[in-house]
Amino acid sequence: LGSRDEVRGKKAVEQLTAENLPVSLIIIDVTNQSTIDAAVNEVTNKYGHLDILINNSGVYAKEPRPSELTVDDIRHNFDVNFFGAFSVTKAFLPLIRKSTAGRIVNVSSGLSSFHFHESQANCFFHLAYSASKTSLNMLT
């Protein structure tokens, strides 16, 4: 189980271990290439392959109207929600290819749907998050 936060990661591992699932923690921040590389090395040394990669990282915060967003607001969403998944996938791809049934799952959002934004109630909000998750859908 990968987590950027060690305390929260350990708590998740404890919960899964209580369900008799064999889980170990790997610290990884999808916006930090050195932690991605360290995670790949750890999985390589421990298992030699990766059967499934689930990209479930994401940031979401209440956003102002698009006219009030900054480039940094949008960039932060893309760094985590799109580029993070891309970087992790690219780094782990050699290990996934070594699996007999390797899989990649990218967790997106209903907010990435163009249909959601057709409504007047929704069309002015969530630009940074929605655009980054729509891009993730294209990666998938």
Looking up tokens 């994401």 gives 58
Which of 47, 60, 62, 129 is an active site residue?
A: 129
Look up residue 73 and give its DSSP letter: H
Q: Is 129 a catalytic residue?
A: yes
Q: Which residues of 13-40 are buried (b: 16+ CB within 10 A; e: fewer)?
A: beeeeeeeeeeebbebbbeeeebbeebb
Q: Contact 124/65 with Cβ under 8 angstroms?
A: yes
Q: Is 46 a catalytic residue?
A: no
Give the catalytic positions in this structure: 129, 133
